[in-house]
Amino acid sequence: MNAEVKHAAMKPTEIESFFATLRDANPRPVSELEFTSVFELLAAVLLSAQATDVSVNKATQRLFAIAPTPQKMLELGVEGVTEQIKTIGLFRNKAKNLLETCRLLIERHGGEVPRSREALEALPGVGRKTANVVLNVAFGEPTFAVDTHVFRVCNRSGLAPGKTPLEVEAQLDARVPAAYRVGAHHWLILHGRYVCQARKPLCWQCRVAAQCAFGPKTRHHEHLLRSG
């Protein structure tokens, strides 16, 4: 991930308004990954690296129907899991990591997904971002999963500038008001996915353009292009 041109950081009053606006538009944000258990969530997030949620959901709909638990997943074996997820990028490595994760869940955690960051990050294929998603979505922890969308929105808007995902996460941790912490990463992901897009942000449709350091300039540029 590479930070865009650095813009002025949002002021605390702007951050409050930014999240209040996103919350009003979507009071109960949820992950677009489909799952029915904490284990299925962990598996889906593990499989989602460098893949779209849509492609993951298509694969896991088939996979979870026959392997909804770590034990059932192990019984499928590498070939069985690979066959179910072969439409997802990096599917061979992901199949191996998923199966090794299932083995460790059974051996170390009684088949349950652990609630600590340290234990989660000790699982194959589970990095800080994946652990943050599980801690937030499954257990309601106020963590921030910084994917490419969150990284872009935070740098572009001035909400939480940083050169690395970890820097952005630290900025979010320091700057997001308590009332918005649990839902923050959902709002940011969805905003980046559907409005603050990478190549052509839809600033003229943006509800939080008034708080964004990037928005007004871009809206003016779009106006000139349309009227030119």
Domain assignment present for residue 2? The answer is no
pLDDT in tens, 85-110: 999 989 999 999 999 999 999 999 99
If asked whether residues 42 and 132 sit together in one domain, one would say yes
CA dist., res. 125 & res. 224, Å (int): 46
| 3-class DSSP state of 173 | helix
Handedness of CA 201, 9, 210, 15 (dihedral sign): positive
Q: Which of 6, 129, 163, 217 is catalytic?
A: 129
Residue 171 pLDDT > 70: yes
If asked whether residues 152 and 129 sit together in one domain, one would say no
Q: Which of 11, 72, 96, 147 is catalytic?
A: 147
Mean per-residue pLDDT of the chain = 91
* Residue that is written with structure tokens 């808007």 in the block: 157
Assess whether 147 carries a catalytic annotation.
yes
Average pLDDT over residues 188-196: 97
pLDDT in tens, 117-131: 999 999 999 999 999
Which pLDDT belongs to residue 50? 87
Domain that includes residue 17, residue range: 12-29+146-227
Which of 107, 80, 82, 105 lies closest to 93 in space, CA to CA?
A: 82
